[in-house]
Amino acid sequence: MRWLLWLCVIAALIDLQAFGLTDLDEGFYASVAWEMHQSGDWRTPTLGGAPWFEKPPLLYWLMTLSMRLLGETEFAVRLPSALMYTLTILLIMWWGNRRLGQGSGDWGALLFALSPLSLILARLAITDMTLVFLLTLTLIALWETRGWLGSLLGGVALGLSILTKGPFGLSLIGLLYLWNAKTLHARGLRFRKVILALIAALLTAAPWYVGVYLQHGSAFFNEFVVKQNLLRFAGGDTAHSVVSIVQRGDGWSILVGVAVYLLFYVVVLWLGGLPIAGYAGALWRREDDALRCYLQRWAWLVFGLFTLSFTKLPAYLFPMFPALALLAGAQIAQVRLQASVPARVWVGRRLGAFALVMGASVWGALALYAPLWQVAPWVIALAFGVPTTVFALYKPAAPPWMRTLGVIALLIGWNGALTGYDRLALEPVRELALKPPPYRTLIAYRVNPGYPSLHFYRKGQYRTSGDADATLQQMFQSGAYCLTTDAPFAQRPELFIVAESRALGRRFYLTAPKYTAP
C-alpha cells in the first residue's frame, strides 16, 4: 500500500507545471517571491515594488531558493508545497504506526494524501501545506517531548509556523496545551520544557518581525497585525466574510449569512475531506485512550475556532486533517484486526457511508461538466476514480486491486481537471498578457482580480487600474498595452485591438494606442 503514497507524491510533482498559476493568493505569492528573487531583499516582501505584508516570509524564502535552483517557473514556486505534502505524509505514517498501532499510520497517510483539499494544496504555491506540516510536527513534539532536544524541535517548528502564516499557530498550540496540560504533565512533560519550546519559537520568529517593524513601523503593524490577523478573524476581509452577506439587510441575506457562518466548514470537511469525512464519527466518540483524545481535541479546536471566525476560507480548516486522518487510520487498523465491530462504530459508519456517497456524487458531477472534459478528456477518469477510491478506503476489506485502480484513476482525473480548467479559464488570458513586448507595461483594466498571476508571467511589467481616463493617459505616455473585459473601452477610436480571446464565457481584449505598433 505504501507505494500508492509515493505515487501520490510523483503525481503531485508531475502536476506542478501541468497548469498555470490559478489561485488568487498563488498569483500574489509567486509574484512576491519573484520580486524577492530579483531584488535580493529577503527582509521586506514587495509586490509591484511596494511592501507586501499579507503574510510572513517563510514561503517566499522557500520559493526564492527554489527559483535560484530551478528557474522562474511554476514548478519552482510550487515545489515547496509538494515537498511539505511529502513530509506530512511521512510524518503521519511514521507517528501513526509508532503510537496508534501498526497500519494506523499507513492508512492515515493514504487518507490524508488523497483528500481533495490535500490534492489541491499540494499543487499550489500558497502557505497552507507548509503551515500544516509545521503544526503537525509541533503537535507531535508536544506529545512526545521529554528531553531538551524535543522541546527545541517543537519550538523551532512552532516558530517557523509563525513565520509562515502569522501568530495564529501559536494561539492554536497554546490552547491545545492548556486543554491537555493535565494529561501531558501526567505523561512526564515538565513546565520548564514548555518554556524552553516557547523561547525557541520566539527566537526563531522574532528576528524577522522585529527587523521589519523597525524598518517600516506602523505600516507593518497596521497591515499585518491589525488588518491581516485581528480584523480578518472579525470579518474584515470583505471578499471572504459572512458579514458582507448579512449587511445586505434583507431576511434572505441574513438567513444565508448565518447558514454560511455556521455550516461552511461542515461542507468543507465533507467535500474537501473525502474519504476522511466518512470517519468523522471518530471526532465525537468517547475515547479512553489519551492520544486519541488529544487528537480529537486538536481537530475540534481548529474546527471550532475557525467556525467562530467571520472570515471563511476552505484552507483554514486544513490543520485538522492530519489529526482526523490519524484517528481514521487507527479505526481502520482496529476494525481489520477484530472479528466483529462494536455497534456504535457501525452506526457512525452508516452515517459516514451516506456522506461519502453524496460527496462522491458531487465530485463526479463536477468531473462531468461538459466544457471541462471536452478540453481535457482525461478528467472523465475523475468521475470513476473518486467513488472507487472512496469505496476502497471506506471498506478496507475491498480487494487491493480496487484501491490501486481507484487511486490511479483519481490521480489521472485530477491532472485532467487541473489542465482542463487552465485551458478553459486561464490559458487564453495568459497568452494575451504575454503578447506585448517585455519592455512594455501591461495594464489590467476592469479585469477580475483572480488574475494576479499575470504579474508573475509579465515579470514585473504589470499594473492594475480601475479608472478609464488614467489608463488611457498612462497608455499614451508610456506606450503601455491594456488588457480589459470592457468592450466599449477597447473599441475607443484612439485604441486598436491587438488580440482578443474568450475564457469562461467572457471576452478579453488586448489593446494598444494607435501610434504603437502591435
pLDDT of the residue at 348: 55
pLDDT mean by block of 10 residues, the chain; 518 residues: 93 95 87 93 91 94 96 96 98 96 95 96 96 97 88 96 93 95 91 94 96 92 83 63 69 79 92 91 87 96 92 92 96 72 53 85 92 93 94 84 95 96 91 91 82 81 88 92 94 93 91 73
SS (HEC) of 9-40: HHHHHHHCCCCCCCCHHHHHHHHHHHHHHHHC
Give the phi and the psi of residue 445 in degrees, each rounded to 5: -115, 120
How far apart, in whole angstroms, are the C-alpha atoms of residue 446 and residue 511? 13
Q: Please name each of the domains of the chain with its CATH number.
A: 2-238 (no CATH), 434-513 (3.40.190)
Which pLDDT value is given to residue 337? 66
Do residues 372 and 407 lie in contact, with contact meaning Cβ atoms separated by under 8 Å? no
Q: What is the pLDDT of residue 347?
A: 45
Distances (CA, A) of 105 to 153, 234, 285, 449: 21, 37, 20, 41
Say how many CA atoms lie within 13 Å of 284 toward its Cβ: 7
Distances (CA, A) of 266 to 111, 280, 303, 517: 18, 11, 9, 54
The per-residue pLDDT for 514 is 86
Give yes or no for a contact between 461 and 473, defined as CB atoms under 8 angstroms apart.
Answer: no
SS3 145: coil
Q: Cβ-count burial of 285 within 10 angstroms (0-12 exposed, 13-18 middle, 19+ buried)?
A: middle
DSSP 8-state assignment for residue 241: B
Question: What integer pLDDT is reported at residue 346 of this predicted model?
Answer: 46
- pLDDT of res. 291: 95
Q: What per-residue confidence (pLDDT) applies to 518?
A: 47
Please give the full DSSP string across 174-213, using - where no structure is assigned: HHHHHHHHHHHHHTT--HHHHHHHHHHHHHHHHHHHHHHH
Give the residue from 464, 389, 378, 388 showing the smallest Cα distance to 414. 378
Instruction: Name the grid cell of 257.
Output: 449569512
Nearest to 414 by CA among 8, 1, 42: 8
C-alpha cell of residue 407: 487511486
What pLDDT shows up at residue 196?
94
CB–CB of 191/83 below 8 Å? Answer: no
**Nearest in space to 478 (alpha carbons), one of 466, 470, 486:** 470
Check residue 127 and give its pLDDT: 95
